[in-house]
Amino acid sequence: MGKLDGKVAVITGATSGMALASAKLFVEEGAYVFITGRRQENLDEAVKEIGLNVTGVQADSAKLGDLDRLYEAVKQEKGHIDVVFASAGHGGRAPLGTITEEQFDSLFTLNTRGTLFTVQKALPLMRDGGSIIMNGSIAHLKGMPGLGVYGGSKAALRSFARSWAVELAERRIRVNVLSPGPIDTNAMAGLPPDAKEYFRSGIPRKELGRSEEIATAALFLASDDSSFVNGSELCVDGGMAQI
């Protein structure tokens, strides 16, 4: 018996990396999963990779009309949602003194505004007792050069979790933030060697995390295993922001 048997989950930005690994694991544990991605080709490939019990909906979480289309597809196909993993987001360095309006707007529009409306628009379909997971980052817990805007966009999610856990208490819907540390994804692969070494050096085991290690944490927050975890932030960072 799977930990998510009979559950319906929505995972945004799930065409690669941590979110794709989470979608695969959710399906293995019995869930039906709706995934989104901005590029249809990548979305089709992710659906093929997951294989079973998955629907792909082309959507940009920064666009409210796309989110409406996502939830209309969920409504028509399944009629309800048990788990939302608002994972869509992106990073980028923006050192103080060089920050542009475009950089600020891009990060906050997707990471903060997009997450807020991903959750809010899901609520009419959420079943009581469901789980909401937001994809945060330990960047808001540590002073990292050039990541102030990115970290700020993720810090807001920590505040959302506290407020929404209270607001949704009567429906017994739990709201938590999953905050990864440095994970060995395509985004990390594009960094220069000195940047990778900076991240490795701050992790006690001196190795980057794996997408699968984030997926198991997401499964924990999505399932009844975390029934008494609410309004919290779970850091999956190898200890980087903890020591």
- What sign has the CA pseudo-torsion 166, 171, 172, 175? negative
* Token digits of residue 18: 């941590």
Residue 233's closest CA among 171, 183, 160, 182? 160
Terminal-residue alpha carbon distance, the chain: 37
Catalytic residues: 150
Q: Which of 231, 177, 238 is nearest to 210 (CA)?
A: 238
* Phi, then psi, of 227 in degrees rounded to 5: -60, -20
Q: If we measure between CA atoms, which residue out of 83, 61, 4, 25 comes closest to residue 214?
A: 25
